[in-house]
Amino acid sequence: MKKIRYIYFLVIALLAHGAQAASILVSNPQQLNNALTNAQPGDTILLDKGNWKDVALTIETNGTKEKPVVIAAATPGAVQFTGNSFIKFGSDYVVVSGIHFVDGFAEKGAVIEFRKNNDKLANHCRLTNCVIDSYNKPGRFDNENWIILWGQYNRIDHCTIGNKLTGGTTIIVELNDERSQQNHHEIDSNYFNGRLPLGSNGGETIRVGVSRYALTSSRTNIHHNYFERCSGEVEIISIKSGDNQINCNTFLECEGGLVLRHGERNTVSNNVFFGRNKPYTGGVRVINPGHTVSNNFFVDLAGERFHSAFSVLNGVPNSLPNRYVQVKDVQIHHNTFINCKSIVFGAGKDPERTAAPQNVVFRNNFIASKGKRLYEDANNDGGILFSGNTYVAPGVTTIVKGFTAGKGLDTLINIYPMIKHDKGIDIEQLPVMNAKETGAAWYTPSKPTLTASVTYSVSAAQSKQLAAIVAKAKAGDIIQLTDTGLYQIEEPLVVRTLLTIKGAKSQLVNVGEKSLPAFIVIENGGSVTVENIQFNSAYKSYDDVQAAISTTVKPMNSHYRLQVNNCEFFNFNESSFACIRGTKSTYADSVIITNSLFHHNSGTGIDFSSEKDDKGIYNVAHLVVTGCVFTNMLSTAINVYRGGNDESTTGPDVLIDHCTFNEVENRMQGCVVKLLGAQIATVTNCVFNKSGAGGRCIWFEEMSWDKLKVDYCNFYKSGRVSSFFNNVTGKHIFYNTPVFNNPSLYDFRLASGNLVAADGKRLGVN
């Protein structure tokens, strides 16, 4: 169907040129530029199939409304722009179609920009049936914007755009020029095929304007697009201007929402949000006056606060344009909410944001909820006017003003033919935008596949071949160290794909002529599971190894995962060393460390604190440390850092459970566990013995909305738990003398019956 649609569009475009139009086939960039120089309105330039590398396509040839100039792939999907390729529209009435950007990145500027320079903006130009897929610069914070719209009446449609891994917005509508305001651009029928969390602000999929132009009218129309797992940050679409239309879009499992961040008189209607109960999935967030939000459909959204299914924010009194202007005179009507976790009025209320919404009308909406309340109003001052709403919520037993209890979902289901199965709603069966109806007609995003795994058995005698074996292994392969003896290596084991490295209590040591950055280095594309290995940083008189497992210091834009089980880390004897480390600008989806022993180290045990810019950036989304022992350590056991007060992200999320900390970091003002800026953190069922005695055991620096808990923990001759709001500790905090089985053999299990944990087991390691 998509192929037929593409051919239809192309034929119509060609017929529109008239009988006198020329059709020119070109085979390389030089021929393309020559053809453009000589092109007349109505001409079509067809690009021959092949790999077109380093194409600098600057278009200055004008068409007309009746006779646009068309630049199209002769065979859809067979023209690949690679390397340092980009397009600049610098004229009027030009159509570009059928090009695939892959295997490269634009070194300077955007991949596609609707202007040549400040003097030549594009008007009435169109980008259609193109694909930009994984066209990323190498570094996570090598900021780049893929498409920038200038001028007026331009259109981006039926494109597939996905897998952006770097900082910067995918599509920007610029208003920094009077000729680009009141622009009437259209962004429609596109398939936005995924964006992983950036772990920082600046990961929007679409942004219209900036705060400087909050009072400027853009009149951009964003409609009939499909956003699948676009989770770069809390703002998937960020509207920062006025008089825009955001209609008939579908959002599937997006960890964020459609945000009216700045600007006035924007309209949000007939959009559909499916969360499938995934964490942080959201809907619409409203700031500033004069908006209308109507006829939208919100289903199974699990986000809260700024990720709520629906939220109207408190403002800042006399706010500057770049903060939070008070919400006034907003109409919210005929929306449907099914099984959504949170609807909030007055969201973000804090000592700064005290200006409650005024004259916000919430009418004729429908809410079906499993919870005990339909919504939360942080102000309750009458600024939200409820009328004519209906609900079905068995847990709501009292009358809610402005709401009438309904009889069930039968009427709704008749209107919206939802197909229910074990995975929830089948979006392909609904009358909404989806992957089949949007994007480039000729393109189906590929799905990664793993071939059958290979196991490489490596003996201690083959130690010096280990790095080469790891380098040649394919995704899913297993490296099995078969001996319990020493594995003497001279270079790091560099992981560039998905691998498992298993030992038999095998011990890695360095026998090379120089210090190593790490025993195992995770580079771009790598993820690794490590089991049953001992890491000895200081072996005989050879140079030390600075980390056991570390990410690279080279550019790295892809996420990675690390699992460590039943491993031992010792003799990391410099304070700058770390057993496990995430380096600057790298990002872990998850790091899971279980049943491992960290002892006799001067360096940090687990270190994810390399982002020091205080811009809300962090190195790990989910860190889990369970069943681990940290003993005889000069420095911090666990260090996670996220600085600043940015609210656009969701991590770090840290769980520390059933761990034992014995004689760790007793220096003056030292700290055993630093969780500075963690937004969700739980430390439970742990034992701290003679640790942090010169300062802190656990140190938080949190915002008021962070979710932190320390409970069922024992602190004997140890430092304090420190937090900004001083409310993180539970009711089960102990100060008893722990009795360990056999500390000399690193058996730090508590004697039977000594200090019972929340789960009925003993505190600490079991």
The closest alpha carbon to 101, from 90, 91, 112, 114, belongs to 112
pLDDT digits (tens, 9 = 90+) for 107-132: 999 999 999 999 999 999 999 999 99
Predicted pLDDT at 446: 78
The amino acid that residue 406 corresponds to is G
Which three-class secondary structure state does DSSP give residue 36? helix
What would the DSSP string read from start to end of 459-477? Answer: -GGGGGGHHHHHHHPPTT-
Among left, alpha and beta (phi > 0; psi -120 to 50; other), residue 438 is beta
Q: Give me the helices (H) in 325-433, please.
A: 410-415
Is the CB of residue 53 less than 8 Å from the CB of residue 82? yes
Is the pTM higher than 0.75?
yes
Predicted pLDDT at 68: 96
Is the CB of residue 493 less than 8 Å from the CB of residue 470? yes
φ and ψ at residue 7, rounded to 5 degrees: -60, -40
How many residues does the structure list for the chain? 766
User: Would you tell me how many other CB atoms lie within 10 Å of the CB of residue 426?
Assistant: 12
Q: What is the C-alpha R_g of the chain?
A: 29
Q: 668: burial class by Cβ within 10 Å (0-12, 13-18, 19+)? A: exposed
Percent of the chain whose pLDDT exceeds 70: 93
Cis peptide before 652 (omega within 30 of 0): yes
Query: Which token pair is 267?
Result: 């309209």
The Cβ-side half-sphere exposure at 561, using a 13 Å CA radius, reads: 9
pLDDT digits (tens, 9 = 90+) for 247-275: 999 999 999 999 999 999 999 999 999 99
Residues of the chain with pLDDT under 50: 1, 3-9, 11-12, 14-19, 411-424
Predicted pLDDT at 393: 84
The Cβ-side half-sphere exposure at 593, using a 13 Å CA radius, reads: 28
The closest alpha carbon to 569, from 622, 611, 607, 614, belongs to 607
Is the CB of residue 132 less than 8 Å from the CB of residue 161? yes
Query: Which token pair is 522?
Result: 């995770």
Exposed e or buried b for every residue in 20-29, given b needs 16+ CB within 10 A? ebeebebeeb
The amino acid that residue 698 corresponds to is I
Residue keyed to tokens 């380096």? 583
Longest dimension (CA), the chain: 94
pLDDT digits (tens, 9 = 90+) for 488-533: 999 999 999 999 999 999 999 999 989 999 999 999 999 999 999 9
The closest alpha carbon to 734, from 701, 759, 756, belongs to 756
Is the CB of residue 393 less than 8 Å from the CB of residue 374? yes
User: Would you tell me how many other CB atoms lie within 10 Å of the CB of residue 533?
Assistant: 26
Predicted pLDDT at 414: 43
pLDDT digits (tens, 9 = 90+) for 448-491: 676 788 999 999 999 999 999 999 999 999 999 999 999 999 99
Q: Give me the helices (H) in 288-431, please.
A: 410-415
Residue 185 Cα to chain centre, angstroms: 27
Rounded Cα distance between 675 and 666, Å, is 18
Query: Which token pair is 626?
Result: 């369970």
Residue 163 Cα to chain centre, angstroms: 11
Beta-strand relationship, 560-565 and 328-333: unpaired
Predicted pLDDT at 395: 83
Predicted pLDDT at 723: 93
Rounded Cα distance between 526 and 477, Å, is 12
Q: What's the angle, vertex CA 191, arms to CA 186 and CA 193, rounded to 5? A: 135
